[in-house]
Chain A
Amino acid sequence: MRCGDVARLSSAYLDGELDDRMSSALRGHLRTCDRCRVLVEDEAALVRAAGELEPLEPPAELWAAIEDRLADAEIADAERPRYWMWWRAARPYLAGLSLVGAAAAAALFLWQREAGESAAAASEPVPPPVALVSSRSHEEARASELSRADRRYQETIAELRAIVETERAAWTPEEVAAFDARLAELDARIVAERARLSVGGGEELATSAAGRDPLYAAYRAQIDVLSAAAVGELGAR
Chain B
Amino acid sequence: MTRALVRGAQALGFLVALAGSARADEVFERDAVNVSAPPGVDISRVSVDNRLGDVTVRGHDHEGIVVHAFKRAPDDETLERLVVSLVPEPGGPVSIRTSLLAGLESRPIPAGAVEVDLVVLVPRSARVRAEVWNGSIEVEGVDNGAELAANEGEIDVKQVSGEVSTHIAHGPQELAEIFGAVDARGVESDLDLEEVIGSRLAASVYRGRVSARHVRVRELSVRTIHGSVRLEGTLLAGGHYRVSAYRGNLELRVRSEFGLRVMARSKSGQVRLPKVLAARRAATGAFFGAYGSGRSPAELQLTTGMGHITLAEF
Contact = CB atoms under 8 A, between A and B. Distances in A.
Nearest to B216: A7
Given A132-B20, A210-B51, A231-B305, A137 B111 contact: yes
Given A2-B143, A152-B169, A156-B206, A133 B303 contact: no
Given A231-B244, A233-B244, A236-B221, A42 B236 contact: yes
A160 B206 contact: yes
Interface in B135-173: 143, 151-152, 159, 161-162, 167, 169-170
A46 interface: yes
B21 to A, nearest CB: 5
B170 to A, nearest CB: 7
B241 interface: no
B113 A138 contact: yes
Contacts of B143: 2-3
Contact of A137 (B21, B108, B133): B108
Contact of B198 (A35, A46, A153): A35
B257 A134 contact: no
A216 B51 CA distance: 15
B187 A233 contact: no
A231 B222 CA distance: 11
Contacts of B244: 231-233
Given A133-B113, A227-B225, A232 B303 contact: yes
Contacts of B185: 220, 224
A39 B223 contact: no
Contacts of B100: 138
Interface string A127-142: 0000011111111110
A218 to B, nearest CB: 13
Nearest to B161: A3
A215 interface: no
Main secondary structure of the interface of A (DSSP, over half): helix
A185 B281 CA distance: 39
Main secondary structure of the interface of B (DSSP, over half): strand
Given A231-B246, A232-B244, A140 B223 contact: no
Contacts of B187: 152-153, 156, 220, 223
A123 to B, nearest CB: 24
Contacts of B111: 133-134, 136-138, 140-141
Contacts of A49: 258
A191 interface: no
Interface in B182-228: 185, 187-188, 197-199, 204, 206, 221, 223, 225
A205 interface: no
Contact of A133 (B110, B151, B225): B110
B6 to A, nearest CB: 22
- Pairs A-B, 4 closest by C-beta atoms: A141-B111, A137-B108, A3-B161, A231-B244
Interface of B: 20-21, 23, 49, 51, 74, 100, 108-114, 124, 131, 133-134, 143, 151-152, 159, 161-162, 167, 169-170, 177, 179-180, 185, 187-188, 197-199, 204, 206, 221, 223, 225, 236-237, 242, 244-246, 257-258, 303, 305
8 contacts: A136-B110, A138-B110, A138-B112, A145-B134, A149-B152, A228-B223, A230-B246, A231-B303
Interface of A: 2-4, 6-7, 35, 39, 42, 46, 49-50, 132-141, 145, 149, 152-153, 156, 160, 163, 209-210, 213, 216, 220, 223-224, 227-228, 230-233, 236
Given A138-B114, A231-B245, 4 more contacts: A133-B74, A141-B112, A216-B151, A224-B204
